[in-house]
């Protein structure tokens, strides 16, 4: 298992947190996520997904992933 921490722009409320968490948890290979306003910590199986897919899910949900 691997872990990545993301900084996320555009999240302003608990609805945003739930939307981002749902998007991240929907990525195949993600085993857990902790999402707060402006950040996320994600544990995932490297053989099934990668950071790029997780970042794309966040972007598809309408938010922007900032460089670490």
Quick: pLDDT tens for 23-35.
999 999 999 999 9
For a pLDDT cut of 70, what percent of the chain falls above it? 100
Domains of the chain: residue spans and CATH: 2-66 (3.30.70.100)
Half-sphere exposure of 59 (CA within 13 A, CB side): 8
> What average pLDDT score do residues 55-62 get?
98
Residue 52 pLDDT > 90: yes
Check residue 20 and give its pLDDT. Answer: 98
Check: pTM over 0.85? Answer yes or no.
yes
Q: 43 and 32 in contact (C-beta within 8 Å)?
A: yes
- Distance separating alpha carbons of residues 7 and 25, to the nearest angstrom: 17
């Amino acid at each position: 298992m691997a872990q990545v921490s993301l900084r996320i722009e555009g999240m302003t409320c608990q609805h945003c947190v739930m939307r981002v968490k749902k998007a991240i948890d929907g990525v195949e290979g993600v085993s857990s996520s902790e999402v707060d306003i402006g950040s996320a910590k994600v544990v995932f199986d490297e053989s099934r997904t990668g950071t790029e897919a997780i970042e794309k899910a966040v972007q598809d949900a309408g938010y922007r992933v900032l460089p670490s």
